[in-house]
Structure formats: structure tokens, C-alpha cells
Amino acid sequence: MYCLRGEAELGKSEEARCHARRQKVIQMNAKLLEMEGDPDLQFLLQGGDLLKVLSPSWKKTRYFRLMEDCKTMWRESKKAFKDSKTFSLDDISAVRMGRHSEGLRKNTEDQVEDRCFSIMFKGRRKNLDLIASSEEEAKRWVSSLEKVVSSRKDLNRQQKIEHWIFSCLRKADKNKDDKMSQSELKNFMRLINVEVDDDYAEMLFQKCDKSKSGYLTGEEIKHFYDLLTHRNEIDVIYGEFAKTTGFMSPQNLVDFIMEQQREKATLADAHSIIQKHEPDENAKEKKLLSKDGFLMYMHHPETMILNPDHREVHQDMSRPLNQYFISSSHNTYLMEDQLRGPSSTEAYVRALLKGCRCVELDVWDGSDDEPEIYHGYTLTSKILFKDAIKSIKEYAFKTSDYPVILSLENHCSVEQQEVMAHHMSSILGGALITSPLGDGMPTGFPSPEELKGKFLIKGKRLNKLEASFAPEAAAADDTDVTEEGESNTEDEEDEQKEEEKRKAKKKLKLAKELSDMVVYCKSVHFHGFEDAKRKLSFYEMSSFKEQKAMTLAEESANSYIRHNVDKLSRIYPGGSRTDSSNYNPVPLWNAGCQIVALNFQTACTDMDVNQGRFLVNGKSGYILKPAFMRDVATEFDPITLTRGDWLKHKTLHVMVISAQQLPKVNNKKSSIVDPLVKVQVYGVPADVAEKETIAVENNGFNPAWNENFQLDVYVPELALVRFTVEDHDSTSDNEFVGQYTLPFNSLKMGYRHVPLLNKNGDVLPSAQLFVHIMVVDAE
């Protein structure tokens, strides 16, 4: 089918057939992408040689081109017998022109800057660093890749499903004769993750083989596809409202939206939906919605489970900074674990692209008077502080315009602290906040809106901020400050090291240049809530190890909430987490803590929940805390739940109906998932709950459950809902298939598709759940 370079030469007639088949497949996929005849698509399909860079001495020519599916990039090695490799355009997170990746900066010279570009991947996959033959060619590769990746993102879910199924059909056609034998049909069923017994496969085949030839071709394959993708649950819903000669009229559609989806709708809205989603021109002309048009409409992002209004920034961003939950990362420089894992500027890029607004920099003296970042007293690799700052500057505001906090763990000598201050000042320039906004001593935090595009430094300061406004008191006693708990013992691997540190009772000498850069986030010790209330200014904040914070959140929740009305609190994982695992952030949010820092590099349930919390408000990385957590006299306590404005008892009714196109959890040909669905609520202790469906055996393609669950939610403003699909295993733990987490108050009611994310938090292109949601006031 693919007629790749490097294969044995084909006969002329076979070559012509192969070329014709290839063009037919390209034409079909280009049409789906609405890129027929597009010069950028043609450029990628033609492909070309690029220099792949792995080290200063390893730079080798590789031939790259886009395959016929318009989705997969193919790379040919020049080495005999070496396997060719592929990657999907769906796995690309960004394409960067120039020497901006860590690999290109290390392994190439300045003079090739204009010819370099990097392909960044989602998840933990390493960048692909490439050099083109000219600047013009590099720009062409970058712009063409960006255009096709963007076109693929714009496909609606139904189109993605069709594209995926078509690709599987082509793959199952082993001899590339555009016919489907019965054995090829069974192979296809396994590819799409459904196991059927021989009798059912035979029945399906006979039903479609109208010509009785023993093969399916053309229209017969289309009929097979239609049978396969038929969704009975959609038929039932559509049939209930399609009252106009088997179609939905505008009024029928309004009735559906208002009665089932619990949304307001007018006839004008219905006409607009029909114009936008109806694929049949005859039906569109008659102002009717067919079943296909209805399914297209139900797959549109605006009709899915997440309230589309919440996709954009919709909260008040003019409140003081400390009134928001802030997406925060711990040990941001690490790609893996904190004992031996590599440090990389790419880790900062990935966290920032995920909307993280508080990143951590552990800085130590380096050689050549250049400070370095790494995890102290471990075998993690090192990166230059200035390179990290450059990467942060470049990527800080790609996902969100709102401020980024640089949390400094400073272990440097005064001399190298001065270098740190110089780098931050020269690289970040006017975006770095080095003095309070406005005139005079501030009495509270500025807002995220006022700080758009700005960087704040969190770290030690020699004196109070007030001293800046009283010249006679400006001089500090000396340049010593006691190291804070987090700098001293934040991530030590064992008790012995902590004891050694305590005995040393080190004083940290602080450079004035660095001290003066700390304005709104001065690190101080925590000596209790009363002490903080009496002695600390609003900008003086403490960091808490997770165990200490969890204890306070359980035993003194209301005091912690009141403390966080005025002050910022940062929480970080305990030092025993040498594998860079995470803790559950929810109890800390319940206590009003703003900067709940997690290891972004570690895929886990806790990171999924974190991503769900910050999924809304335009993925800005800032979520406004509920009003009852912003009141200095609040009586709210998440543990005891006394009566108050926070108590809004709701009943959540969930019907898990079906799923579509679930991925395999391993690549074995015979492996088929036995999916089950869990519906979980995260929030205050009274709201934490979990329900689970039965497992459907041997069907990841279109399993159906039709199971109803009911869950109570008492504090909806703090609750999150998580849908998880697992592959059931009776002898060991179930395997993760996909999940989606979102705030309870962002749920849309009615019949909704739920997108599914993989373990790295990236969207699974075709997989989804189909559910019915109803939220009612509890009696």
C-alpha cells in the first residue's frame, strides 16, 4: 500500500497500481482535512532529507515524509537493514524554529541557528532536533507541520473516528487489493479493539457480502462500516425528537435542547445548528436535521460535558493574587525521579505549556561562575540557571497571560547570587517585578489582571518591604538570613541528612541584588497561625511540607483557611518521595492553600485531578477561590461542615451509557480490553465517593453499560468529578485506559460525550464516553 523508499523495485504495472492506490488514499484524507491541493500538505507528502542531531558528533541525514494517512510522519534510516520509524502528528505539542531546544543549544553552533528546528512531543518523548539545508527550507518544514497539525486539531470527533476507522481498514488489507476477506475482517476487528466470535464475524460478513464473492469491496465495505458504527443509543434519542417525517425540525431540536440538555434555545439557534452541522444538502435546504447531522452536533466541543463558557477566562481576575488557587510545580527542572533523573530546560517548557504558573528553581554554585540547577545531594544532572530563565521567558505566556512565580531555592554563594540577579534582570527585563506596583507601600497583593505578562520572585529577603519606603531604616543589620525550612530540609532523602543540616545551623548569606527582587513573595518561617497574624506582613509567606500541611488541614482547617485569606501558602511533596510521586492536592485546596505544588513530570491520579482543577477559566492557571474562603471571618470548616453559604446540597445523577474507540492497553494483537467505568467525586470529605460499572468483556470499540448512579455533593464549589475507564483484570490490578476530570460546577446536563485523556493528560483522539447527567437540589 505505501510503496516506501528502500523496498525492492516493483514491476511497472504493479508500481502504477501502487501509485494509484496511494493517490486515492491521499485524496480521501486530504479531503477530510479540507486541504485538497494544499501546497504545504504536498510538501510534507513529498518529504525530504534533514539532519537529525543527537550530540556534537552525531548528526546524520534522515529522509522524512508524511504518509498517505496525512497523520503519520515516516523516517527512513540510511543504514542497511535498519528499521524505519514513524510518529503521529497527534503526538506533536509544538514545532520550534531556531536553536531553542536544550539539545540544539548544546550540540550545534551559532551559525546554523537559522536552519535549525525542533519537534516537541507530548508526554515524556524526547524532542526531535533537526537541521535543514537552508533557512527557507527550515521555515517551510515548520509552517507546513504547524498547518497540518492545526488542521487535524480542527477535525470534529466524528471525522476523527471516520479517519481512524479508515486507517485501520487500510492496515487490515494485508495484500493491498482493496478487498476485505473474512480473515482480514477479523484482523480489522482486533485492530479496533473488539473481539468477536466466529459466528458473529461470519454473520456480519454474510450480511455485507451482497455479491457473494467471498470478499467485501467498495459499497460492501461501506455497509460494513455503517453497521459497525451504528449507535443504537443515538437512534433512540434522535427517534424520540425527530417528529417531522423522520427528521428533526428546528422546533424538534429546540425541544431536545430545552427538555434534555437543560439549556435555553430559540428557533434561530436551531437554524444555526442545522446550517453548521447538517451534512446532507437536501435536508439543510429543507431546514431539517438528519441523524448524521444530529451526531455531528453532539460531537461538537460546545455540546460536550464541559461547559463551553468555562473554556475561556470567565472569572473575576481583578481580585488580589492570594484569592486564587495557582497551578504550581515542584522540582520543575526534573524530567523523571529526584534521585537520578535528568534535569532539563524542557521540563520547564512542558510545565508552562500545561498552564503551570509557579515553577521551582533549585540553584547551586556552578563552574565558571555560572549558577546551576539540579537536585542537591543527588545524582540528577545539571542545567545552567541562565538557560532555564531563557526557556521560562520564551514559554511563560504561551498558554496563559497571567503572572508566573519563580520559586527560588537558593543555595548559592553571594557572588553567584549576583550572577543570578543579573541573568534574571537582563533576560526577563521589564517583565520582572522588582518594586511594588503603584506609589507607596502596598497594603495587599495586586491582581492577576494587573500582573499579566509579569514574573514574581519568591525567595528570601534581607529586610521588610516597608524598609524600601523608609530610607533611614533601609540598611539591614547584615547580609545573613536564616535558611527557611524548605531550603534546609525540603527534599532530604533521609533523617540523617536532616540531622546533619540541623547541626550545621547554617546561615545563608544573601546578595542585596537578589534580595531586592523579592517583592510580593518573601519566604519566612511558620511559627503558628497566631504568630503569623500578629507579626507577618501580607507578602510574607511560608512553605509547608505535605505532612505538616495535611495535619493542619485536618486538625485546624478553619484557622488555615483564615490564614490563607490574607497570606499565601505553598505546599510541597515530602522528601521521602524519591520517585517524584505526588500527594492528593484536594485537602490542601479545601484548606485554602493557593500554591499546592506537584511533580508535573509524574503521571498519576493526583496530577489528573490537578489538571481537572485548572481545566477551566481559560486554562489560565488561576482559579478564584469561593467567596466563603475569601472572608476573613469565615466559619467554613471542610471537616465539620457546619451550616453556611457553602452548603448547597445537590444530587448528581449519572447514567453511564456507552464508550467509543477505547485504545488497547498493550499492543498484543490478541489483546482486547474489558472496560469498566468509575465515576468519582473529589472534594470535602463528605463529598468523596466512587461508583463503578460492571466490566464489558472483549469490547473496547463500542461497549455499552446503561448503568445509573446517584451521588450526593454538599459543597459543589470545591467538588471535582472524575470519569475513569479501566481494563478489568480478575487476577491483578485493573489497567488504566483513560480519564477526564472537571469541576462539578462546570458539568453540562443532559446527553453528553466525555473526551478521554491518556496518562500524560493528552487527549485520546477518538476515544470517548457517552453519559447522561442530571444535577438537582437535594430534598
**Cell, residue 157:** 470527533
Point out which residues pair with 738 in neighbouring strands: 725
CA distances 413 to 225, 360, 387, 417, Å, are 68, 19, 19, 6
Residue 395 sits at the vertex; the CA angle it makes with 394 and 397, to the nearest 5 degrees, is 105
Do 616 and 667 belong to one domain?
Answer: no
Are the C-beta atoms of residues 562 and 534 closer than 8 Å to each other? no
Q: What is the pLDDT of residues 364-408, one digit of tens each?
A: 999 999 999 998 877 778 999 999 999 999 999 999 999 999 999
Q: Which residues fall within 8 angstroms of residue 240, CB to CB, at 6 or more apart?
A: none
Do 34 and 148 belong to one domain?
Answer: yes
* CATH code of the domain containing 79: 2.30.29.30
| Cα(613)–Cα(595) distance, integer angstroms | 13
Is there a domain that residue 410 lies in?
yes
Do 282 and 359 belong to one domain?
Answer: no
Do 283 and 210 belong to one domain?
Answer: no
Q: What is the pLDDT of residue 383?
A: 93
Is there a domain that residue 1 lies in?
no
Of the candidates 25, 31, 32, the residue with the CA atom closest to the CA atom of residue 68: 25
Domain boundary among 127, 153, 179: 153
Is there a domain that residue 274 lies in?
yes
Split into its structural domains, the chain has a count of 5
Count of other CB atoms within 10 angstroms of residue 528: 12
* CATH code of the domain containing 215: 1.10.238.10
6: amino acid identity, one letter: G
Please tell me what DSSP assigns to residue 726: E
3-state secondary structure at position 489: helix
Do 367 and 427 belong to one domain?
Answer: yes
Burial class (CB in 10 A: 0-12, 13-18, 19+), 16: exposed
Is there a domain that residue 634 lies in?
no
Residue 38 sits at the vertex; the CA angle it makes with 35 and 42, to the nearest 5 degrees, is 110
Q: What length does the chain have?
A: 779
Element (H, E) at 49: strand 48-53
* CATH code of the domain containing 537: 3.20.20.190
The reply to whether 63 sits in an annotated binding site is: yes
Domain boundary among 209, 229, 249: 229
Do 431 and 555 belong to one domain?
Answer: yes
| Cα(616)–Cα(356) distance, integer angstroms | 13
Do 341 and 407 belong to one domain?
Answer: yes
Domain boundary among 124, 153, 182: 153
387: amino acid identity, one letter: D
Q: Residues of the chain whose pLDDT is less than 70?
A: 1-11, 14, 77-84, 156-166, 193-201, 471-507, 667-670
Count of other CB atoms within 10 angstroms of residue 571: 27
- Expressed as residue numbers, the domain containing 280 is 234-296
Q: What is the pLDDT of residue 200?
A: 62
Active-site residue list? 330, 375
Q: What is the pLDDT of residue 486?
A: 44
| Cα(224)–Cα(638) distance, integer angstroms | 54
Of the candidates 654, 460, 608, the residue with the CA atom closest to the CA atom of residue 541: 460
Burial class (CB in 10 A: 0-12, 13-18, 19+), 670: exposed
Do 390 and 527 belong to one domain?
Answer: yes
The reply to whether 698 sits in an annotated binding site is: yes
Q: Which residues fall within 8 angstroms of residue 506, CB to CB, at 6 or more apart?
A: 483, 488
The reply to whether 464 sits in an annotated binding site is: no
The reply to whether 64 sits in an annotated binding site is: yes
Is there a domain that residue 630 lies in?
no
The reply to whether 410 sits in an annotated binding site is: no
Burial class (CB in 10 A: 0-12, 13-18, 19+), 109: exposed
Is there a domain that residue 54 lies in?
yes
Element (H, E) at 255: helix 250-259
SS3 string of 346-374? HHHHHHHHCCCCEEEEEEECCHHHCCEEC
146: amino acid identity, one letter: E
| Cα(307)–Cα(425) distance, integer angstroms | 41
Q: What is the pLDDT of residue 102?
A: 85
DSSP string, 177-246: SS-B-HHHHHHHHHHTTB---HHHHHHHHHHH-TT-SSSB-HHHHHHHHHHHH--HHHHHHHHHH--BTT
The reply to whether 674 sits in an annotated binding site is: yes
What's the number of CA atoms in the CB half-sphere (13 Å) around residue 467? 13
Do 120 and 173 belong to one domain?
Answer: no
| Cα(165)–Cα(171) distance, integer angstroms | 10
**Cell, residue 554:** 485536618
The reply to whether 35 sits in an annotated binding site is: no
Do 284 and 200 belong to one domain?
Answer: no
Of the candidates 408, 377, 368, 423, the residue with the CA atom closest to the CA atom of residue 510: 408
CA distances 618 to 277, 293, 746, Å, are 25, 29, 13
Is there a domain that residue 391 lies in?
yes
Do 689 and 742 belong to one domain?
Answer: yes
368: amino acid identity, one letter: D
Is there a domain that residue 138 lies in?
yes
The reply to whether 727 sits in an annotated binding site is: yes
* CATH code of the domain containing 743: 2.60.40.150
Count of other CB atoms within 10 angstroms of residue 325: 23
The reply to whether 668 sits in an annotated binding site is: no
Count of other CB atoms within 10 angstroms of residue 55: 9
Q: What is the pLDDT of residue 122?
A: 84
The reply to whether 424 sits in an annotated binding site is: no
The reply to whether 327 sits in an annotated binding site is: no
| Cα(345)–Cα(334) distance, integer angstroms | 9
Point out which residues pair with 772 in neighbouring strands: 655, 751
SS3 string of 97-133? ECCCCHHHHHHCCHHHHHHEEEEEECCCCCCEEEECC
Do 392 and 539 belong to one domain?
Answer: yes
The reply to whether 58 sits in an annotated binding site is: yes
User: Model's pTM, two decimal places?
Assistant: 0.84
Residue spans of beta strands (DSSP E) within 526-673: 540-545, 569-572, 595-598, 622-624, 650-660
